[in-house]
Chains A and B, each alone.
Chain A
Amino acid sequence: MSISAILFWVLSIAALFSALMVVTSRNPIYSVIWLIVTFFTISGHYILLNAQFLAVVNIIVYAGAIMVLFLFVIMLMNLNKESEPARHRWLQLAGTASGGALMLVLVAALKDTELKSQQSLLLEGHIGLIKTLGQELFSTYVVPFELSSVLFLSAMIGAVLIGKKD
């Protein structure tokens, strides 16, 4: 087993475990911390696939900005284990069963595809580098890029308007 295969398995198991902990933690703060761990493992996967730009952006945007926003909101609301509402036991079981059924169906549908023989290139390739992505972003995808700046502006105005005391 090569070192990249070992890294893949370690990162995968860590990602699955921390994702499970996000769902099962009673305390919302712990959920946020576990979600940050999940994002770091996914960034590790990106590095393994040599998508360096996305790995860094994932850490900066998700683990940095978005999760800090979540943490702020949770601390602002003073949520903790005692105030955490719990669903009825049967509803929880039904939700878990439905999620498991979804996973079962997807795995059953996709396990025999012709993709099976395909490989995903690890540790090599230049398409994940900032230079290539930047050139593509500012030539082919320049219109969506500018549109996303409008999206950000409208999201900012929307957040301020919604959060305003009236």
Chain B
Amino acid sequence: MPINYYLFLAIALFSIGVVGVLTRRNAIIIFMCIELMLNAVNLLLVAFSKMHYHQAAAAAIPVANPGIDGQLFVFFIMVVAAAEVSVGLAIIVMLYRNIHSVDINFLNRLKH
């Protein structure tokens, strides 16, 4: 499968995530859109990893595991995302406890 298709699919998914962050006001949905963007990047990393593997196999480059770094990066991104979600959701729960809403427009009182 041409790498272009994966590139455009990941760009489309990422842009949908950006649109979600910009147009929604519910903090939880914004958070989910960030997860969507992370997943778009993950998909592209795996596709590029397999592209490098294919290139190295075609050129007969004697590297042990060409392109495996991309897949390990995806693994670490998932690790960081899981940690991020646990802290972020704790913040949102605390926010809801204080102002009884998850509307991010109420967060502007952080300014004063």
Residues of A within 8 A of B (CB): 4-5, 8, 12, 15-16, 19-20, 22-23, 28, 31-32, 35, 38-39, 42, 45-46, 49-51, 53-54, 57-58, 61-62, 65-66, 69-70, 73-74, 76-77, 79, 84-87, 91-92, 94-96, 98-100, 102-103, 106-107, 110-111, 115-122, 125, 127-128, 132-133, 136-137, 141, 144, 148, 151-152, 154-156, 158-160, 162-163, 165
What residues on A are CB-neighbors of B46 within 8 Å?
45-46, 49, 51, 54, 128
- Interchain CB contact under 8 A, A125 and B20: no
Q: A54-B71, A162-B90, A163-B90 are in contact. Are A107 and B8 (CB under 8 A)?
A: yes
What residues on B are CB-neighbors of A152 within 8 Å?
79, 82-83
A141 to chain B, nearest CB (A): 6
- Residues of B contacting A: mostly: helix
A118 to B54, CA, bound (A): 9
What residues on B are CB-neighbors of A28 within 8 Å?
26, 28-29
- Interchain residue pairs with CB less than 8 A apart (14): A19-B16, A22-B16, A54-B42, A57-B75, A66-B35, A70-B85, A73-B89, A85-B26, A91-B23, A103-B15, A127-B49, A127-B66, A133-B68, A154-B83
A158 to B17, CA, bound (A): 26
What residues on A are CB-neighbors of B72 within 8 Å?
133, 136-137, 141
What residues on A are CB-neighbors of B71 within 8 Å?
51, 53-54, 127-128, 133
The tally of residues in B whose CB lies under 8 Å from a CB in A reads: 75
Partner of B47, one of A22, A120, A136, A165: A120
A42 to chain B, nearest CB (A): 5
Q: A28-B28, A136-B65 are in contact. Are A119 and B51 (CB under 8 A)?
A: yes
Q: A95-B22, A118-B51, A141-B72 are in contact. Are A16 and B82 (CB under 8 A)?
A: no
